[in-house]
């Protein structure tokens, strides 16, 4: 569980809270984890290693930079790794590293080491859209699952959600643009950039670096509604409704219906 002594997560972390969007949505299959998501209002923070997009959150950078940038980067690295090393010996190692191009020759291993760190992050992906045909197909098991409607507020974990940046080309940048002192910015560049073709998802993400637990819960209620997929069978619909009824405060239940003569869905209240 994410805990905050003041009860307001965003201000406690020194982050501004924008009340828009008011709602975010999560598409899911109906499976053994539905109780966790619906009844307990828990969120699963997945590793980027499990993402379906092979380009998503993958480390890719260059070692291009000025001699001064490289020296600064290596100096910081040496001070962190070998803080007791004398200044003369430190610069001898740095100059040897630059002259022999150790960084460039160790590129693949360097990428693998950083990717290993990125894969330790915990990510929950949400969307601003409750009625996307492709996301119901991708993530809600061919429209046979459901979509959860969450309300954002300053005290909930959803206040930490940030929108993705969709671009035409994979961003090219040098590790020296960030340096060790700005590795958080480097992680943001990797975790919050996706290909333009995914823009229809209108994704917002919450990320945690090396979370102690992959399953986390907001200290305040976040679930506002449940939207049943248009292909969800009656037994599964009844199971989801039963889970909702077991909540201390059941939320509104909706269903997605196919619009006539359109490739679109309409979200309407469910007549139980």
pLDDT tens column, 95-140: 998 888 887 888 888 888 889 988 999 999 999 999 999 999 999 9
**Residue from 73, 28, 66 nearest 180 by CA:** 73
What is the pLDDT at residue 79?
86
The answer to whether residue 74 sits within a structural domain is yes
The answer to whether residue 38 sits within a structural domain is yes
The answer to whether residue 182 sits within a structural domain is no
74 with 132, same domain? Answer: no
The structural domain count of the chain equals 2
Instruction: Name residues whose C-beta falls within 8 Å of residue 4's C-beta, 6 or more positions apart in sequence.
Output: 12, 155, 219
112 with 216, same domain? Answer: no
CA dist., res. 44 & res. 34, Å (int): 11
**Is the separation of the CB atoms in 44 and 215 below 8 Å?**
yes
The DSSP call for residue 270 is -
Domain range for 111 is 67-117
The answer to whether residue 136 sits within a structural domain is yes
Q: pLDDT (tens digit, 9 = 90+) per residue, 222-241?
A: 999 999 999 999 999 999 99
């Amino acid at each position: 569980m994410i805990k905050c002594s003041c009860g307001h997560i965003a201000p406690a972390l020194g982050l501004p809270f924008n009340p828009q969007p008011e709602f975010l949505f999560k598409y899911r299959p109906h499976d053994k984890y539905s109780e966790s998501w619906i009844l307990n209002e828990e969120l699963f923070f997945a590793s980027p290693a499990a993402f379906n997009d092979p380009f998503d959150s993958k480390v890719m950078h260059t070692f291009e930079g000025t001699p001064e940038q490289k020296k600064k980067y290596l100096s910081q690295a040496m001070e962190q790794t070998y803080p007791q090393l004398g200044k003369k010996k430190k610069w001898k190692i740095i100059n040897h590293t630059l002259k022999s191009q150790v960084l460039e020759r160790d590129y693949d291993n360097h990428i693998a080491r950083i990717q290993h760190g990125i894969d330790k992050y915990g990510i929950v992906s949400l969307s601003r859209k409750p009625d996307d045909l492709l996301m119901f197909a991708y993530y809600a098991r061919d429209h046979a699952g459901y979509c959860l409607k969450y309300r954002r507020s300053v005290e909930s974990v959803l206040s930490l959600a940030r929108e993705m940046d969709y671009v035409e080309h994979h961003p090219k940048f040098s590790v020296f643009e960030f340096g060790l002192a700005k590795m958080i910015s480097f992680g943001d560049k990797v975790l919050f950039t996706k290909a333009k073709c995914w823009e229809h998802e209108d994704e917002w993400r919450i990320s945690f670096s090396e979370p102690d637990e992959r399953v986390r819960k907001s200290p305040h209620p976040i679930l506002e509604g449940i939207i049943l997929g248009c292909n969800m069978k009656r037994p599964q619909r009844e199971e989801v409704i039963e889970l909702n009824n077991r909540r201390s405060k059941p939320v509104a239940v909706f269903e997605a219906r196919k619009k006539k003569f359109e490739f679109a869905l309409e979200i309407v209240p469910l007549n139980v």
